[in-house]
Structure 1
Amino acid sequence: MELNHDTLNLEADPLESVEQAVIAEQYAYERDDTELHIAVPGSWRDHQIWFAWRPELDAMHLCASLELKVPEKRFRDACELVNRINERLYLGHFEVWSEDGSIIFRHALSLPGGEGMNAAQAAGLIGAAKEAGERLYPAFQYLIWGGKSVSEAVSAAMFETAGEA
């Protein structure tokens, strides 16, 4: 299928769509030409999320810090926990950075050939990052500060609820 370039907005800035979604939700944010940083309120803490537009890759990159550092003695356990969690995620993934032990959530949206991004897509990315952080922050806390095993941390955070309370 050939793209009709007349219908593409080749000058579109995908960060504009992110900014529209952020303004609609009234989140605090800062923006420059290639990045947008937001603070999204959550149950455990505010989620620090940043978007970076990578035109050379035609990709919108999202990164959210859990603002947790893994002590060296728990690094292997944290990596195993990340692996088990990532097996169950539909969108994005967690990482433990070897450089400083930071735990982050990452996701990207491919926008090839000048394809645009809308505010609903941006809101979906923000929602995915917030949901992952809300749901899985306790697992990392149990492991790092609670001294729990990887299995205990996964069990505590990955249960599925049924029905309504």
Structure 2
Amino acid sequence: MLDDQWSELDQEEAPPVDMLAAFFEARGWSVDHVSDEEISVEIKGNWTSYQLRAIWRDEDHVLQILLLPEIRVPEEKKLAIYETLGLINEQLWLGHFDLWSTNSILLFRHATMLGGSGMLGLDQAQSIVDMAIDEWERFYPVFQFVLWSDKSPQDAIKHAMVDTQGEA
């Protein structure tokens, strides 16, 4: 059945919300249609579950992806998290991590301009979604070290970003 859903997408372009909804359903993720311009799904990652929101702005042809784990930053950790965000974001080519000031939730966000057609292809949808998930999976331990192990942002990055050599 998964193959049938993928073949239905047929590598064609579609309006962004429609393409992402079909893509999410093909992956077996339950889609919540928040509005004509916004959808939301819950995704199980290696470290935690994430809420992914896709928001389409037709007036400027921008698709915004927000990926949020359920991580709230306590007031006393905000300064360390802002420093951590700065150190992490300077390593990224696409998207950025952010801390919402209204509710102290950490998130990853990325906006894509889709040009005049305002259409999204399957390959592009998959790349955008996978990139957001991959970045959270890569940096989640850094945030854990800062928030729960009281490591400095520099130490957290040093300890969490160790590249494994060889095979176990």
Normalised to the residue count of structure 1, the TM-score between the two structures is 0.86
Q: Hey, which bits of structure 1, 4+ residues long, moved more than 2 A?
A: 156-165
How many Å separate the matches in 2 of 1:162 and 1:36?
39
Once the two structures are superposed, what CA deviation does each residue of 1:94-133 show, in whole Å capped at 9, x if it has no partner? 0012222211100011012124211221111111111111
Structure 1 gap ranges (5+):
1-8
How many Å separate the matches in 2 of 1:144 and 1:122?
32
Q: Is the 8 A contact 1:21 1:120 kept in 2?
A: no
Q: Which residue of 2 aligns with 1:119?
A: 122
Q: Which residue of 2 aligns with 1:23?
A: 25
Q: Which residue of 1 aligns with 2:93?
A: 90
Amino acid across the alignment from 1:133? W
Counterpart of 1:152 (choices 138, 143, 155) is 155
How many Å separate the matches in 1 of 2:94 and 2:165?
21
Q: Which residue of 2 aligns with 1:45?
A: 48
Amino acid across the alignment from 2:19? S
Distance 1:164 1:88, change over 3 A: farther
How many Å separate the matches in 2 of 1:157 and 1:117?
34
1:141 aligns with 2:113: no
Distance 1:163 1:16, change over 3 A: farther
1:55 aligns with 2:21: no
Identify the range of structure 1 (155-164 vs 69-78) with the bigger mean alpha-carbon deviation: 155-164
1:99 aligns with 2:102: yes
Q: Is the 8 A contact 1:61 1:109 kept in 2?
A: yes
Q: CA deviation at 1:157?
A: 2.7
Identity of aligned residues (%): 33
Identify the range of structure 1 (153-162 vs 132-141) with the bigger mean alpha-carbon deviation: 153-162
How many Å separate the matches in 2 of 1:163 and 1:87?
28
How many Å separate the matches in 2 of 1:162 and 1:15?
40
How many Å separate the matches in 1 of 2:108 and 2:160?
16
Distance 1:154 1:33, change over 3 A: same
Q: Is the 8 A contact 1:66 1:105 kept in 2?
A: no
